[in-house]
């Protein structure tokens, strides 16, 4: 069995510097439910930051910066938590996302959920499933060919204790 790393760097894209992460509850469902979403992919976090800053600027009618927050994630301590890792974009992964996105009161009881992210193209496929236009099995087959990035969702206060703020930086544009 491969030895797990003890600390990993994770990124969170936002329009603010966030030294103390908290569970984010929104008006619509997210892939892995409500939580604090991070990724190990720096460019993905930068895209999230730019998108969030653009949306927050529109809402507040004032310019918001795109900020990437960087954290140390103490993976060793996950042994004490209830975690779920989706290693593939398979039927189990898709059904989990469908439950989380379609039912805001769905409670999966995991402290941390990690796996592939349902980006715009993947999200479109999931919307077809939610609308009853596409069978889940067909959606999984379609998604096999997508390059899908990762996400780690910290779903409970206990899981947030495994994150320690390192630094943040402003994203000016995607190069």
> Is the confidence at residue 1, as pLDDT, over 60?
no
Q: Do residues 70 and 11 touch, judged by C-beta distance below 8 A?
A: yes
pLDDT (tens digit per residue) in 6-35: 689 999 999 999 999 999 887 777 889 999
pLDDT at 101: 83
Distance, in Å, from the CA atom of 169 to the CA atom of 15, rounded to the nearest integer, reads: 11
pLDDT (tens digit per residue) in 109-147: 999 999 987 665 667 777 788 888 888 888 888 776 666
pLDDT at 6: 62
Q: Do residues 19 and 42 touch, judged by C-beta distance below 8 A?
A: no
**CB proximity list for 15: less than 8 A, separation 6 or greater:** 49, 52, 53, 56, 57, 64, 65, 66, 67
Structure tokens at 32: 């892995």
Structure tokens at 36: 């604090």
Beta-strand runs (E) in 15-111: 36-38, 66-74, 83-85
Supply φ then ψ for residue 91, to 5 degrees: -65, -40
Q: Do residues 23 and 157 touch, judged by C-beta distance below 8 A?
A: yes
pLDDT (tens digit per residue) in 32-81: 999 999 999 999 899 899 989 998 899 889 999 999 999 999 988 888 89
pLDDT at 3: 46
The pTM (predicted TM-score) of the whole model is 0.84
């Amino acid at each position: 069995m491969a030895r797990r790393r003890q600390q990993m760097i994770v990124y969170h894209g936002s329009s603010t510097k966030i030294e103390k992460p908290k569970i984010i509850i929104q008006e619509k469902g997210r892939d892995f439910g409500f939580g604090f979403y991070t990724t190990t992919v720096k460019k993905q976090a930068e895209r999230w930051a730019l998108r969030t800053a653009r949306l927050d600027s529109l809402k507040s009618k004032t310019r918001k910066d795109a900020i990437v927050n960087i954290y140390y994630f103490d993976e060793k301590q996950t042994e004490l938590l209830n975690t779920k890792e989706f290693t593939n974009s398979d039927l189990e992964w898709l059904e989990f996302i469908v439950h989380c996105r379609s039912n805001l009161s769905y409670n999966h009881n995991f402290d941390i959920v990690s796996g592939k992210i349902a980006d715009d193209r993947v999200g479109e496929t999931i919307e077809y499933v939610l609308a009853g236009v596409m069978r889940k099995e067909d959606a999984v087959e379609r998604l096999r060919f997508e390059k899908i990035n990762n996400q780690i969702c910290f779903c409970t206060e206990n899981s947030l204790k495994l994150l320690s703020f390192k630094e943040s930086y402003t994203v000016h544009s995607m190069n």
